[in-house]
Amino acid sequence: MTAHGTDPTTRLPGVVPDTGAQSAAATSLTGGSTASRKAAYEARERAHAEHLAAREARRDARERRDVAWLREVAARGAAELGGSGVGAGDEASAAQVVAWVARELGGDRAAVACSMADAVLPHVVARELPWVDVLFLDTGYHFVETVGTRDAVAATLDVHVVDVRPSLSVPEQDAVHGRDLFAHDPAACCAMRKVEPLARTLAGYEVWFTGVRREEAPTRAATPLVTFDEKNGLVKVNPLAAWTGDDLYGYAARHGVVLNPLLEDGYPSIGCAPCTQRVERGADPRSGRWAGFDKTECGLHT
């Protein structure tokens, strides 16, 4: 069952079958009779549960490796994969970056951060690290389309979606900090509903993948493929850093990857509903985020 306890075989969006991160069981969810889809769903859930049980046993048998060792691994990865510099033609590809992580760190303590604007990053990572944890920051303010994309990712990809929630519910935050904190102090709202919950969750991992791309904003133009996240104390990997928007959409089309329908409705950058507006065609993709405030980042990558 997904986060809402419903059988996703009854409400899957149209997804083109793929032979990479989608298992045979997941692919069969989109076709055949109701009985065959149900059987495929149950088989996939069993495989999922078995993988999680085995992974938890391995985690229990080995503690998280120390920060000094992880920092050395990150430095080695930056040297091996970065080529002659950020943006150089000899940088490693996204697939090569993920394969390096699989070799050097494995997937037991790896996480993918995903806003559910699309499922490209989880798809890319899961091809090397099946059933990797995908962290979804469930802020309580998401568009219904974003929650639907989250459910489709959980139902169709061989990943384990983890809903990361703030300490306070929206009503509790309203009671403590005043109603609609986002409207007058969006930085504080992001800190409580995104930054702190993610930092708390990352404490159990050794490496996290992000979908940050250099072309998205000037603040992201120098994003490396691999670095050490000093704030959170683990390796940070940005496999798609060199990708353009065309690269992203081209990959999604080739592999039948789920996209948030808001992308086709004037929202090239999707965050919480109260803080995200439509953007005019050709404008800065992130100009619809926190409109009216001197703010372009939520704090996760700064």
Measured from the Cβ of residue 199, the count of other Cβ atoms closer than 10 Å reads 16
- The span from the CA of 298 to the CA of 198, in Å, is 12
Residue listed under structure tokens 């045979």? 24
Q: Which residue, among 251, 255, 35, has the nearest Cα to 157 in the 3D structure?
A: 255
Say if CB 178 and CB 294 are below 8 A apart: no
Three-state SS string over 250-263 comes to HHHHHHCCCECHHH
**CA 295 vs CA 190, 267, 289: distances in Å:** 11, 17, 8
First to last CA, the chain: 35
Helix axis angle, 94-104 to 67-81, nearest 10°:
150
Query: 275 catalytic, yes or no?
Result: no
Active-site residue identified among 190, 272, 275, 298: 298
Q: Mapping DSSP to helix (H, G, I), strand (E, B) and coil, where does residue 122 land?
A: helix
Residues serving a catalytic function are 298
